[in-house]
Structure 1
Amino acid sequence: MAVTLTPAAADRVRSYLAETPGGIGLRFGVRKSGCTGFAYVVDIAKAEGPDDSVFETDGVAVRVDAASLPQVDGTEIDFVSQGLNQQFVFRNPRVSAECGCGESFATS
């Protein structure tokens, strides 16, 4: 499988990369958090990690560390604008439960 970006997400990441000297792609992963287990971590990657898996969509690299990959493999990252709100949305087929506040998730 892979981690993919929609065209809207790829465009948004490209704009962030243009503003970030030394940016080489998007770093996507998880950290332990909340009542359910994991929270997404998204940042601009400035260096290659020794255990990164790299997935490319429309020329934009998404880097995922080995510890995060089992929880995010298969995720589609979108960028959605609704009224004045803009945010990344994660469509992760591995999610089996989410907390009520949307802070964290569990995978099966």
Structure 2
Amino acid sequence: MSVETFNPQLDSVFVTDAAAAHFRRELAKNADAKAVRLSVKQSGCTGWMYVVDLVPEGKVEDLRITLGDGAELLVDPAALPVVSGTEIDYVTEGVNRQLKFNNPRVKDYCGCGESFSVAS
């Protein structure tokens, strides 16, 4: 018999203030969107790719993370084995601004940076 435990450091996704502000700005630009939804899909040569969508509503089973000012991040529960423990940040690198996923489960990235694999 085994007992599964909930570890709040690994069983959630964390959003920095910069990323939350970015998500709120993007939601404000899109009247049809009420939330940001994070999922993953199989892609590239390494395995997984993050998918971030603006959505009108989430699914009942989604993990819901409040970002403030009415904004919400929804996480697809099927993605949790891949994204749990991830910190989402919004960074400026040179003249580029982008979301950065700091995922402690990643063990390898593909050469082009499109996909990643996780430790099991």
Q: Equivalent residue for 1:85? A: 96
TM-score (norm 1): 0.91
- The secondary structure found in structure 2 opposite 1:67 is helix
Deviates further, 55-64 or 98-107 = 55-64
Unaligned runs of 5+ in 1: none
2:45 aligned with 1:56, yes or no?
A: no
- The secondary structure found in structure 2 opposite 1:15 is helix
Runs of 4+ in 1 over 4 A off after TM superposition: none
2:31 aligned with 1:21, yes or no?
A: yes
Q: Equivalent residue for 2:47? A: 37
Q: Equivalent residue for 1:103? A: 114
Q: Deviations over 1:6-40 (max 9, x none)?
A: 11111111101111113222111100000010001
Q: Equivalent residue for 1:66? A: 77
Taking every aligned residue pair, what percent have the same amino acid on both sides? 44
Q: Distance in 1 between matches of 2:117 and 2:15?
A: 22
Q: Distance in 1 between matches of 2:60 and 2:68?
A: 24
Q: Name the Cα RMSD after superposition.
A: 1.4
Question: What letter is aligned with 1:45?
Answer: V
2:105 aligned with 1:94, yes or no?
A: yes
Shift of 1:83: 2.6
How many pairs align? 108
Q: Is the 8 A contact 1:27 1:44 kept in 2?
A: yes
Q: Deviations over 1:38-77 (max 9, x none)?
A: 0010111211213211122445421111211110111111
TM-score (norm 2): 0.82
Q: Is the 8 A contact 1:4 1:57 kept in 2?
A: no
Q: Equivalent residue for 1:4? A: 14
Q: Is the 8 A contact 1:4 1:56 kept in 2?
A: no
Unaligned runs of 5+ in 2: 1-10
